[in-house]
């Protein structure tokens, strides 16, 4: 696989990224494109719960904390119109400033997404990044399999937001995105509603390289063994399996387990000291796994066969949630093996997931319509 490395050139392309920022993707995509010589700026409508920044935040009025009729009236007849005006004015201010508008699905400028038609009228290019549940067809073969996100999910509020019980409406929205988009970055399990899923581009994830060289001496120092698990959603990430495995292993090994809710910068700092990162037990990995590889962690998650084909070289330790205790125990009994896996993970990160590597890949797609 090509790394996308090479001499930096300055592109004339101007890229808007946002205004959604799921898992910090707007933040990373804009910075990756800038590292490739593109003028790219990330925007968001609200601050990220885990502290992922963006270049600019579009301030809006927030909902009242009180409940009942007063909140309903205030939100529907006061805040919603005011915020709609703010978004419309924001849209006008950036419309002629950028050539390509890169949206983190499902958020565009307007709730009804009619801004996409306006962008196409002015001959703007449009790209979409499909991060997950809001694009996933819950009845698709990949998403009805055991261990899929949909198989785990019992989050009614999330299902309502993602239109999971209104497949026709959800399909209509995704097909509208597809109709207007020049580029879509997606995985197979988030491409089920696309009319032409084979046209979806690979969903590249990236993160910052550590500021200091990664110290793998920690694998030769012995315990206590740092095992970390940072679930954004405990049910979907399989947290109960992780906690059960740790509880059982604590009698056999000295383990320092960390699973607190913290900002992304705090997560990265802790990953630099961890030995094992347990990511998730669905069909593939998330951004957290990339962050773990970059910091020299042994990353444990579950990779379905179709996902492994998409990322054949990624050195993740895959297991089913029921086998997690045995998998971790085997790793802790063999520190040399853990260190080799960590070394392979660092190499993979530098070849595939740095900002410059991914930025050059995206630029090659946008300027030449070619994968590198």
Q: What's the CATH class of domain 216-352? A: alpha beta
Peptide bond into 148 cis (omega under 30): no
pLDDT of residue 65: 61
Peptide bond into 19 cis (omega under 30): yes
pLDDT of residue 299: 98
Per-residue pLDDT of the chain (372 residues; tens, 9 = 90+): 444 444 455 789 999 999 999 988 999 999 999 999 999 999 999 878 777 889 999 988 776 565 655 555 556 656 788 888 999 999 999 999 999 999 999 999 999 999 999 999 999 999 999 999 999 999 999 999 999 999 988 889 989 999 999 999 999 999 999 999 999 999 999 999 999 999 999 999 999 999 999 999 999 998 799 999 988 777 778 889 999 999 999 989 999 999 988 888 999 999 999 999 999 999 999 999 999 999 999 999 999 999 999 998 999 999 999 999 999 999 999 999 999 999 999 999 999 999 999 999 999 999 987 765
Burial (CB count <10 Å: 0-12, 13-18, 19+), residue 308:
middle
Q: How many CB atoms lie within 10 A of CB 78?
A: 12
Contact 203, 130 (CB under 8 A): yes
* Predicted model pTM: 0.90
| CATH-assigned architecture of domain 14-206+354-368 | 3-Layer(aba) Sandwich (3.40)
Contact 113, 173 (CB under 8 A): yes
- Domain limits, CATH 3.40.50.2000, in the chain: 216-352
């Amino acid at each position: 696989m090509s790394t996308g490395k090479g001499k930096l050139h300055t592109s004339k392309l101007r890229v808007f990224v946002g205004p959604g920022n799921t898992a910090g993707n707007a933040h990373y995509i804009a910075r990756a494109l800038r590292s490739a010589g593109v003028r790219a700026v990330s925007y968001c409508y609200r601050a990220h719960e885990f502290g992922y920044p963006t270049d600019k935040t579009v301030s809006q009025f927030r909902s009242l904390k009180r409940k009942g009729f007063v909140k309903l009236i205030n939100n529907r007849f006061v805040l919603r119109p005011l915020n709609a005006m703010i978004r419309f004015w924001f849209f006008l201010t950036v419309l002629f400033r950028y050539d390509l508008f890169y949206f983190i699905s499902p958020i565009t400028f307007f709730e009804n997404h009619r801004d996409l038609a306006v962008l196409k009228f002015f001959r703007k290019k449009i790209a979409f990044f499909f991060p997950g549940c809001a694009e996933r067809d819950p009845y698709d073969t990949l998403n009805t399999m055991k261990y899929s996100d949909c198989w785990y999910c019992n989050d009614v509020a999330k299902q309502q937001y993602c239109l999971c019980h209104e497949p026709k409406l959800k399909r209509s929205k995704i097909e509208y995105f597809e109709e207007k988009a020049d580029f879509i970055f997606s995985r197979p399990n988030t491409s089920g509603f696309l009319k032409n899923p084979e046209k979806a581009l690979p969903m590249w994830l990236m993160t910052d390289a550590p500021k200091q060289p990664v110290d793998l001496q920690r694998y030769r120092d012995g315990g206590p063994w740092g095992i970390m698990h940072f679930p954004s959603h405990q049910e979907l990430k399989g947290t109960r399996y992780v906690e059960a495995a740790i509880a059982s292993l604590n009698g056999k090994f000295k383990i320092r387990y960390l699973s607190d809710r913290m900002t992304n910068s705090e997560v990265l700092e802790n990953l630099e000291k961890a030995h094992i990162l347990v990511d998730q037990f669905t069909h593939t990995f998330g951004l957290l796994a990339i962050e773990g590889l970059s910091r020299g962690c042994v990353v444990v998650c579950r990779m379905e066969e179709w996902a492994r084909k998409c990322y054949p070289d990624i050195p993740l330790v895959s297991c089913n949630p029921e086998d997690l205790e045995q998998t971790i125990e085997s790793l802790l009994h063999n520190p040399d093996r853990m260190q080799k896996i960590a070394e392979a993970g660092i190499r993979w990160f530098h070849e595939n997931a740095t900002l410059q590597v991914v930025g050059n890949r995206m630029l090659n797609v946008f300027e030449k319509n070619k994968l590198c």
